[in-house]
Structure 1
Amino acid sequence: MSRPMRLGVIGAGLKAADYARGWVHMPEVAFVAAADVSGASLARLAGICTAAGRPAPHGFEDFRGMLAACAGELDAVYVSTPHALHAEQAIAVVEAGLDLLLEKPMVTTVPEAQRLVEAQRRSGATVVIAFQGGLSPLVLDTQRRARGGEFGELVSVAAVIWEGWSNAYAGHWKQRPELSGGGFMFDTGAHMMNTVCLLADADFDRVSAYMGHRGKPVDIVCAVSARLEGGALVTFTAAGEGPPGCASHITLFYAGAIVRIDAWGGWREISVAGRAAVREEAEIRDNPMKSFLAIRSGAAPNSSTVDNGLRFARLWDGIKASAAQDGASIRIGAETS
């Protein structure tokens, strides 16, 4: 057996701990180091490793200290920190010559995305953004078939996502704009926007957006109308207040077919020539490490790239700029770059 991938972790919070409980049993992965400002989070991650008979990773309070001390002992780093911290940490990782599995959303602004894209190109590091939809076989198959012309020209897209997010994350860092970079639309709604960016397979041209905060410091509801460079029209609706639960519907209207899919790529329905659609289901990849390992080894293409992250960032900056101007039409790539 080949040597396991030597992994560092930046951000040992609940998400990282949840993944670690599975990853620690993967012989392809060895936890080497972790950085977090919380000693309790580092101790929890160490306990997960030792309980599985694995050595505890070296603990650091500062991620730069971890990279300086352990870069020669690492192959890759998983970053799972508040959104506003992603850019600095991700760029530091790839500049250290390490591969990167980065939690969604990639970064919070277009300039950050551009700097990460440039850093990745200089280093040649493998960077994968941990979007379930970006790694979903149903999303990727839909993209492949659309590119092959099976469905005809894309005419319009209608995307909806909802969750009882406002109450579920009350007081959480996700509702602190200086850490989150946005509210519901940028958190759970990021899955919807990212999957649409992948399937629309084109840059956005213009966008008009409205947001409502409903008494919170971040957006809870968002409505967006947009146009792709090819002329297709796109609408996004995000509702982060309501009963418990979370779901999404994305409908892509092509000249020759209607495709319905969810933001995470868990199910799909394709209707062609008026025939009733049959629902297909796929396991949502809640373990992105398997995909990351396959991409690093060359066994699978990277379908969740920094380039799509830049397209996403341009859309998000346009949405923010429009909402700040009460729905004004914003040209993507001009005012937002």
Structure 2
Amino acid sequence: MTGDTSQRTIRVGIVGLGGIGHHHAERIADAPAQLVGGVDISPDARSRFASAYGVPTFETFDALYDEGIDAAIVTTPNKFHEEYAVQALESGIDVLLEKPLANTLESAERIAEASRDADAFCMVGFNNRFSPAVEVFKSYQREGRFGELTHVEANWVRRRGIPGRGSWFTSEEVSGGGALLDIGVHAIDLALHFLDFPEVVEVTGDTRSEFGDRDDYTYLEMYGEDVEDADFDVDDHASAYIRTADGKSVSLEVAWATNRPPTNDFVVQGTDGGATFDRESGDLTVHQVSDTGAPHFTDTEVETRTNDTHKREQRAFFEAVRAGEAPDRNTVEEALTVQRVIDAIYRSAETGRAVELADETDAATPERVRQ
């Protein structure tokens, strides 16, 4: 979209009318936007969405486009991100695309290429960047409070949290991966965001599937339905170590299921200070040392307002649509970096060796090897 900086209401459609589509639809009511319709190949999903929000629903994107939309929010399963995002971009429609960028690196590359060539932009749904605590951290970082950041521990571990055995989440063909692509993608993005997205040069990783295909998988609650005898061919746990060209590093631990207490925190280390961010609670703690008066340590709790990160993300997207300018945050290129790291973790897990990325970003995409 170009040129219009008026206060007109943005006309938006949602593609993919499952749970995440409803999540976005509910928040549009408080945004400077009008929900005008939705797209899904499932008649039942279309019917439920139409009943819930009083808008027409369609089987194809072309029908939604004919309604006269300015923007599209794409919330389909990962395999279909490319189809709808590229179609929207080529139609001149700005896109908010839920994470991850795609189910494979090859598909992600094609989305990025379409975005570069389009008279429209694509913003990627890494909503955790819109946490007030994360924004406080970034402002402190710009002020130099931490010195030079050197390492991030990124941990997103559930005790039991497989999102529906037998759903598209647990199908490698549709999702592209398991815990690593579902929650690991958020952890990697946020860690690299803390480090200002340096160039990644080497990745070592391992993935496992220990719980998802067990008949005796015991849980207290499940996001989706637990289908008896369902196929489960994705990872439920991943560990990785990521090195950057400027000497920074990230250690990653993500899991859908483990026999340990859950954790959802990010520990950022710097030469003059550090911080711990608890994603679940939104709490930020700043760690510093000083010899003022006497040598001492300080751990400062930062209290912020409770905020809906998806709502704030939507507002930033709609403001960019209205301004006709691609946002400088949550960019396709950043999402493509995250996708390359994920692909490298899978390849490292398969070969048992570190994967060098420095020479790959401008070369043909290497074939992805999966178990």
Superposition TM-score, scaled by structure 1 size: 0.87
Q: 2:341 aligns with which of 293, 315, 320?
A: 315
Q: Percent identity?
A: 26
Please report how far the alpha carbon of residue 136 of structure 1 lies from its aligned counterpart in structure 2 after TM superposition.
2.6
C-alpha distance in structure 1 between counterparts of 2:279 and 2:244, whole Å: 19
Please report how far the alpha carbon of residue 317 of structure 1 lies from its aligned counterpart in structure 2 after TM superposition.
1.2
Q: Deviations over 1:187-214 (max 9, x none)?
A: 0222111101211221211011111111
Check if 1:231 corresponds to 2:247: yes
Whether the aligned pair in 1 keeps the contact of 2:14 and 2:25 (CA below 8 Å) is: no
Check if 1:296 corresponds to 2:301: no
The change in CA–CA distance for 1:93 and 1:150 in structure 2 (over 3 A counts) is same
Q: Deviations over 1:41-80 (max 9, x none)?
A: 1111111223xxxxx22x222334544x44xx11000101
Q: Which has the larger radius of gyration?
A: 2
> How many pairs were matched up?
326
Q: 1:334 aligns with which of 359, 362, 367?
A: 359
**Other structure's SS at 1:206 match:** strand
Q: Which residue matches 1:96?
A: 91
| Root-mean-square deviation (Å) | 2.6
2:332 corresponds to which letter in structure 1?
Answer: V
1:286 corresponds to which letter in structure 2?
Answer: H
1:36 corresponds to which letter in structure 2?
Answer: D
Q: 1:163 aligns with which of 158, 179, 185?
A: 158
Q: Deviations over 1:277-328 (max 9, x none)?
A: 31434424132322322333459954211121111111111111111113x1
Whether the aligned pair in 1 keeps the contact of 2:283 and 2:303 (CA below 8 Å) is: yes
Whether the aligned pair in 1 keeps the contact of 2:13 and 2:35 (CA below 8 Å) is: yes
Whether the aligned pair in 2 keeps the contact of 1:203 and 1:229 (CA below 8 Å) is: yes
Q: Deviations over 1:218-267 (max 9, x none)?
A: 11111111211111222101121148996411111100111111347922
Please report how far the alpha carbon of residue 12 of structure 1 lies from its aligned counterpart in structure 2 after TM superposition.
0.9
The change in CA–CA distance for 1:242 and 1:329 in structure 2 (over 3 A counts) is closer
* Greater RCO (CA < 8 Å, at least 6 residues apart): 2
Q: Which residue matches 2:300?
A: 277
Q: Which residue matches 1:78?
A: 73
Tell which deviates more after alignment, 275-284 or 192-201: 275-284
- Stretches of structure 2 that go unaligned for 5 or more consecutive residues are 1-5, 214-231, 290-296, 366-371
Q: 1:286 aligns with which of 280, 292, 310?
A: 310
Q: 1:211 aligns with which of 183, 199, 207?
A: 207
The change in CA–CA distance for 1:286 and 1:245 in structure 2 (over 3 A counts) is farther
Check if 1:174 corresponds to 2:169: yes
Whether the aligned pair in 2 keeps the contact of 1:266 and 1:284 (CA below 8 Å) is: no
Superposition TM-score, scaled by structure 2 size: 0.80
**Other structure's SS at 2:343 match:** helix
The change in CA–CA distance for 1:233 and 1:13 in structure 2 (over 3 A counts) is same
Whether the aligned pair in 2 keeps the contact of 1:165 and 1:240 (CA below 8 Å) is: yes
